[in-house]
Chains A and B, each alone.
Chain A
Amino acid sequence: MRSQSIYKVPQGKLLKISVEYDEKNNVIRDIRITGDFFAYPEEAIELMEKKLRNTVIEREQLQAKIQSIIAEYHIQFIGVDPEGLTQGILMCKP
């Protein structure tokens, strides 16, 4: 199932997330993160999208996964943070 969300990060930018997820197992199959935020290096967003596949759509697991990807690849986000990304993903589920 594919679903989208639009989320204005508090004190930040507009995040648009599209998630294709496995309803039975509640995991992300594919995800696309777009919006007017900033990330350094920019190409890290594609890496983030790839690494988020197969992650369970649940707040704590998502946030931990996102934080570990940020730390591992030295990504710096401006205008969005792990909480915002997590919230945007959770909002994709009805």
Chain B
Amino acid sequence: MKEQWRLLQTGFNTAFSNMAVDRAILVENSEGKVPPTVRFYGWIPPAISIGYFQSVAEEIDVNACEKLGVDYVRRMTGGGAVFHDKELTYSIVIPEAHPAIPKNILKSYGRICNALLQGLAQLGINGTYAPINDILVDGKKISGNAQTRKANTILQHGTILLDVDVDTMFSLLKVPNEKIKDKLIQDVKQRVTSIQHILGKKIGFEEMVEALKLGFEEEFDVELIQGILTKEEKTLAIQFEKECFSTTQWNHRR
């Protein structure tokens, strides 16, 4: 019988709640209370997440975010700023000691990204993993990923772009040099792609979830069983949202 992991579909939530739920799953999995878990989710309202080491002031035009009703949150993972709008986000939480996960951090990025590649293949899309943390299609980025390891447990989350609006993205993100902003936007338009752009048609959130679910099942030879957050996870998530991810202290700490 195949190993069974938990599948969570938590729908669309705020940036603060989304990051709190990932952390809650990490804590509960590290204590052996929940099985390895793959979660799919979206963001309402749209939001920018920044990497743990980034500075809000350096990366985000906070006034523009307020004007457009876009939230922002610091992740517990490193990596860069991401505008979460027309995309699907996944997370996977699994013990570091699990035999499916390479001890080497870079290799473990590759292994988990393989699941995404298998998912893209379900839609007939041929992608490649580009270390450190990207997935490319036709040489253009379609997915960014970030991993942390805490309490001997891995949390990796990342996104698949269903569609992309580079102009809106750049109205929210700061660029080091305003003079080259137009050129930067052109560069990013050249370097970023989306499912819609590749296939020439819209793929819905649910359809993408189904494809990625199969991708994870194939890559790890497991069965993903639909589950729900435990009571403890919900309680922890509410606590993390309130005490950490929604606070100025956390979001502006760097």
Interface of A toward B, CB cutoff 8 Å: 6, 13-14, 16, 32-42, 45, 76, 78-79
Contact = CB atoms under 8 A, between A and B. Distances in A.
A6 B148 CA distance: 25
B247 interface: no
B105 A36 contact: no
Interface residues of B, number: 23
B80 to A, nearest CB: 3
Given A16-B58, A78-B132, A79-B132, A36 B53 contact: yes
Interface string B147-173: 111100000000000000000000000
Contacts of B53: 33-37, 39, 42, 45
B27 interface: no
Main secondary structure of the interface of B (DSSP, over half): loop
A36 B80 contact: yes
B78 A37 contact: yes
B47 interface: no
9 contacts: A32-B254, A34-B58, A35-B53, A36-B78, A36-B79, A38-B78, A40-B149, A42-B148, A76-B105
A35 B52 CA distance: 9
Contacts of B106: 78
Of B52, B55, B105, which is in contact with the most chain A CB atoms at under 10 Å from its CB?
B52
Main secondary structure of the interface of A (DSSP, over half): strand
Given A32-B254, A79-B132, A40 B54 contact: no
Nearest to B75: A42
Contact of A34 (B148, B149, B254): B254
A36 B51 contact: yes
B81 interface: yes
Of A13, A34, A41, A45, which is in contact with the most chain B CB atoms at under 10 Å from its CB?
A34
Contacts of A76: 105
A90 B215 CA distance: 45
A42 B52 contact: yes
Contacts of B51: 35-37
B132 A38 contact: yes
Given A40-B105, A41-B150, A42-B78, A35 B132 contact: no
Contacts of B147: 38
